[in-house]
Amino acid sequence: MTSEPLEILFKQADGIDIYMDVYLSPTASAENPAPILLVVARRRVTSGATPHLLNAPAKHNLTLISADYRLAPQFRLPTILSDCADAMKFLHTKEFQKATEGRADASRVILSGSSAGGWLSLLCASGIGFEAAGLPKPPVVQGTAAIYPITDLEDPFWTVPQRPLSYMNRVIAKEEVEPFIDPADAGSHVAFSSLDSPRSMFYHYMLQEAILADLLLSGTNIPPSAFSVAKALASPNRSIVPPTYITHGDEDTKVHVRQARDYEYEEIPGVDHSFDREPGCGMEKMYEFIERVVR
């Protein structure tokens, strides 16, 4: 696996300090910089739980980067997208080049992410939803590799309550996820939250109560359809989407596989959400896609 990351501090557009972790390819140099795999995931969550990503710098000669972003519902989707776009822009700065000694090639960037991060990677790679959110389009990337992503907030999987959830034997009480669902709670204004923290129950409660769109967009007056990647692909402007790879398990109980079936993608039989976190999962087809796009 790769060594400890560089921890780089940069400022968001609104002046908020935020960090990104950068894992450099051991064979990259200023003369031969490695392409960048920018993973839209909360910093440290990626490194702590996904072996194939940790292996990517040495095994696939990639610069692996993950950057913090602020979380819903304390921050709505436009702010989250702005945070992700700021990380993309930072790759093109002299500050980033100096910190990485020129060993990371910002002209060759692939966005990736899993679940919500996969959706954000699709939105940022294509620019879908940015105009509706009042944001400038993010920098152009060479492609995106999304792992079991959300793609359509209007799908019944997100709009119909599930009590109890198919993978839980009880109904989650609202009190259990307070203050995480309180938009005004200052204690939850965090960019990093580990998968085993008390806040992790928040996702399951959201799914149980079918409140995803509300948590992301309440008060913005932006319709959920503005962020539908599937609908954008069906439109005459499909060319806005760069080369895209999507993989999804056909037994996923956390994000229904229907979210991916509008694409040309890899469907993996017999696996649930987070299958790529298993140590033996190399995600070889995804890295073959990345190799074709960036070389």
In a domain, 43, yes or no: yes
Q: Does a structural domain hold residue 1? A: no
Q: Is the pLDDT of residue 170 over 60?
A: yes
Q: What is the mean pLDDT of residues 96-100?
A: 96
Bridge partners for 285 per DSSP: none
- % of the chain residues with pLDDT over 90: 57
- Residues 169, 288, single domain; the answer is no
Q: What is the pLDDT of residue 238?
A: 56
Instruction: Strands of the chain (E only): list them.
Output: 6-11, 17-23, 34-39, 63-67, 104-114, 143-147, 244-249, 266-268
Distance CA 167, CA 197 (A): 19
Are 138 and 85 in contact by the 8 Å Cβ rule? The answer is yes
Query: Which among 215, 237, 257 is the end of a domain?
Result: 215
Q: Name residue 34's amino acid.
A: A
Q: Is the pLDDT of residue 21 over 70?
A: yes
Give the amino acid at 40: V
pLDDT value of position 102 = 97
Question: Could you tell me if 53 and 24 lie in one domain?
Answer: yes
Does residue 17 share a domain with residue 121?
yes
Verify that 195 and 136 share a domain, yes or no.
no
In the predicted structure, residue 40 carries a pLDDT above the cut 50: yes
Are residue 12 and residue 107 in the same domain, yes or no? yes
Which residues have C-beta within 8 Å of that of residue 295, sequence separation ≥ 6? 35
Do 112 and 65 touch, CB atoms closer than 8 A? no
Q: 148 and 161 in one domain?
A: no
Residue 145 CA to residue 290 CA, distance in Å, equals 8
213: Cβ–Cβ under 8 A, 6 or more apart, which residues? 153, 154, 158, 159, 224
Residue range 219-230: mean pLDDT, rounded: 92
Q: Is the pLDDT of residue 80 over 50?
A: yes
Q: What would the two tokens of residue 139 be?
A: 């920098």
Nearby residues of 107 by Cβ (< 8 Å), 6 or more positions away: none
- Summarize the confidence of residues 55-81 as an average pLDDT: 93
- pLDDT for residue 61 is more than 60: yes
Residues 165, 168, 170: CA angle, nearest 5 degrees: 90
Strongest mean pLDDT among 93-107, 180-194, 242-256: 93-107
Q: What average pLDDT does this structure show over 106-119?
A: 94
Residue 286 maps to a domain: yes
Q: Quote the tokens at residue 213.
A: 């769109």
Does 20 lie in the same domain as 109? yes
What is the rounded CA–CA span in Å between residue 46 and residue 23?
A: 11
Residue 103: helix, strand or coil by DSSP? Answer: coil
| pTM of the shown model | 0.90
Q: Give the ranges where 132-209 is alpha helix by DSSP (H).
A: 156-159, 174-177, 201-209
- Residues contacting 111, CB < 8 A, separation 6+: 38, 39, 40, 88, 121, 122, 124, 125, 141, 143, 144, 145
Does 230 share its domain with 177?
no
Within 10 angstroms of residue 151's Cβ, the number of other Cβ atoms is 26
- Does 24 share its domain with 106? yes
Give how many domains the chain has, as a whole number: 2
Q: State in Å, rounded, how far the first CA of the chain is from the last one.
A: 23
Q: What's the chain's average pLDDT?
A: 87
Share of the chain above pLDDT 70, in %: 88
Strands 34-39 and 266-268, by their bridges, are unpaired
What's the pLDDT score for residue 96? 96
Has residue 90 been placed in a domain? yes
**Range name among 10-14, 23-27, 86-90, 186-190 with the lowest pLDDT average:** 186-190
Tokens of 99: 């910190």
Residue 267 phi, psi (nearest 5): -105, 125
pLDDT higher for 146 or 237?
A: 146
| 145 and 190 housed in the same domain | no
Q: Answer yes or no: do 47 and 180 share one domain.
A: no
Interval 193-218 mean pLDDT: 86
Domain that holds residue 90: 6-152+222-294
- Given a cut of 70, is residue 22 above it in pLDDT? yes
Model confidence at 188, pLDDT cuts 50, 70, 90, reads very low
- pLDDT of 290 reads 93
* 233-282 pLDDT, tens digit each: 666 555 567 888 888 888 888 988 887 766 656 788 899 888 898 888 99
Position 193 confidence tier, pLDDT thresholds 50, 70, 90: low
Same domain flag for 193 and 115: no
Task: List the CATH number of the domain containing 264.
Answer: 3.40.50.1820
Is the pLDDT assigned to residue 187 strictly greater than 70? no
What number is the average pLDDT over the span 163-189? 82
- So what's the pLDDT on residue 38? 97
**What is the per-residue pLDDT for 113?**
92
